């Protein structure tokens, strides 16, 4: 592959990045001026990899005001619990095809790690929006329900509702938490102006029409209520050229983006959160970007520990994000998919690779009038 081809690969989708003279990805938001011969990472200097050291990636009743018809809509049925199994992983059967990720125990462990990573990045906070005394809160695509449970513990006076396609939430939860099997891409049956706060996290690749979803959230927020979107880039960067565009990691990420584009469920929507909120009438819109190292290479102790947890999460995410996209959408064989995923995992364990991704958290307030 020529240098020009490395810098400008041809794909079916608009990549979230361009590239720079170092041949590695750079998004439209530069981190600041970078000297021509010594690009600086936003994570600070790296720790030189020891000769023998490696890091480990193995991971060891309050009722709401829903009416009776609404409750019956969300009652569990045998079809919801009749899971699908593909390539050794378990997937939801409810609205099959709307969600490309597994829902088995391994995936639930990964979701728990993701929750921990967000808490570490955000200084222990569950959200950034300046909400006060919330009475009713909605967590879209709640997954294992960790965010909703933690929020309910923090605000015992609030009713917290979490919905998801899979009933994988724990049975023992705070009395002010309710979980429902629901497709948030369908029409919301709750009354308008019902919520003080609506939260979502890592729904990239799970939504066909983000504008419709944001409009529904806007309509169902009380005046003065907040919507907060938390999304990770499904992409990677390095600021010292250690991550090459023709490396297994970047080839894999480009393939995943191609596949997601083919089914209309874009992965890299993290750059659109703030513009979308503004376009749909939200006020007081703010956004914050967090840098997330893929492994424990930064010198900063806090980022190093975050990188260690991220490495364990990514060990599982490599397969979770790509198994269905590669085999069902791109038409790869299971053998080819597993081989590529193995190469990606091997590359991510290389401590000389100073790669990272980005997480953006954006929130906005529905006008009072």
The residue-averaged pLDDT of 305-315 equals 96
pLDDT band at 64; cut points 50, 70, 90: very low
Based on its alpha-carbon atoms, the radius of gyration of the chain, rounded to whole angstroms, reads 21
pLDDT class for 50, splitting at 50, 70, 90?
very low
State residue 364's pLDDT score: 98
Mean pLDDT of 340-362: 96
Report the predicted TM-score, pTM, of the whole model to 2 decimal places: 0.79
In this structure, which topology does domain 78-366 adopt according to CATH? Answer: Rossmann fold (3.40.50)
pLDDT reported for residue 82: 59
* H helical segments located in the chain: 3-7, 68-73, 78-81, 105-121, 146-154, 210-220, 248-262, 273-279, 301-324, 334-348
Nearest to 25 by CA among 360, 257, 359, 355: 355
pLDDT at 104 over 80: no
- Indicate the pLDDT class of residue 66, thresholds 50, 70 and 90: very low
> What pLDDT digit, counting tens, does each position of 184-229 carry?
788 888 889 999 999 999 999 989 999 999 999 999 999 999 999 9
Residue, of 30 and 325, whose pLDDT is higher? 325
Rounded CA separation 178/159 (Å): 8
* pLDDT tens digit sequence for 71-82: 334 444 444 455
pLDDT reported for residue 92: 63
| pLDDT(293) > 60 | yes
pLDDT digits (tens, 9 = 90+) for 224-265: 999 999 999 999 999 999 999 999 999 999 999 999 999 999
**Main-chain phi, psi angles of 94, to 5 degrees:** -70, 125
Mean pLDDT computed over 133-145: 94
């Amino acid at each position: 592959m020529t240098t020009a081809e490395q810098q400008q690969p041809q794909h079916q989708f608009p990549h979230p990045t361009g590239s720079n003279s170092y041949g590695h990805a750079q998004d439209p938001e530069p981190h600041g001026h970078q000297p021509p011969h010594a690009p600086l990472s936003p994570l600070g200097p790296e720790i030189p990899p020891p000769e023998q050291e490696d890091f480990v990636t193995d991971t060891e009743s309050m009722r709401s005001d829903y009416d009776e018809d609404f409750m019956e809509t969300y009652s569990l049925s045998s079809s919801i619990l009749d899971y699908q199994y593909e390539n050794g992983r378990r997937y939801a059967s409810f609205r099959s095809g709307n969600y490309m990720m597994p829902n088995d125990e391994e995936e639930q462990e990964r979701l728990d790690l993701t929750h921990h990573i967000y808490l570490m990045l955000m200084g222990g906070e569950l959200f950034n929006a300046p909400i006060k005394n919330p009475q009713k809160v909605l967590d879209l695509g709640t997954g294992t329900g960790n965010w909703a449970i933690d929020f309910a513990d923090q605000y015992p006076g609030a009713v917290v509702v979490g919905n998801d396609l899979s009933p994988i939430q724990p049975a023992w939860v705070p009395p002010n938490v309710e979980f429902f099997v629901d497709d948030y891409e369908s029409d919301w049956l709750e009354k308008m102006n019902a919520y003080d706060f609506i939260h979502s996290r890592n729904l990239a690749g799970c939504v066909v029409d983000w504008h419709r979803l944001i409009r529904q959230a806007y309509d169902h927020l009380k005046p003065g209520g907040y919507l907060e979107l938390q999304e990770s880039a499904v992409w990677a960067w390095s600021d010292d050229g250690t991550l090459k565009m023709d490396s297994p990691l970047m080839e894999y990420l480009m393939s995943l983006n191609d596949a997601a584009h083919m089914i209309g469920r874009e992965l890299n929507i993290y750059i659109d959160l703030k513009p979308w909120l503004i376009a749909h009438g939200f006020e007081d819109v703010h956004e914050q970007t967090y840098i997330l190292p893929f492994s424990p290479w930064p010198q900063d102790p806090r980022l190093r520990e975050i990188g260690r947890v991220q490495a364990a999460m990514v060990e599982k995410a490599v397969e979770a994000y790509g198994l269905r996209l590669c085999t069902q959408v791109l038409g790869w064989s299971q053998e080819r998919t597993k081989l590529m995923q193995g190469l990606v995992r091997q590359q991510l364990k290389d401590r000389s690779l100073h790669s990272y991704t980005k997480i953006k958290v954006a929130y906005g307030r529905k006008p009072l009038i």
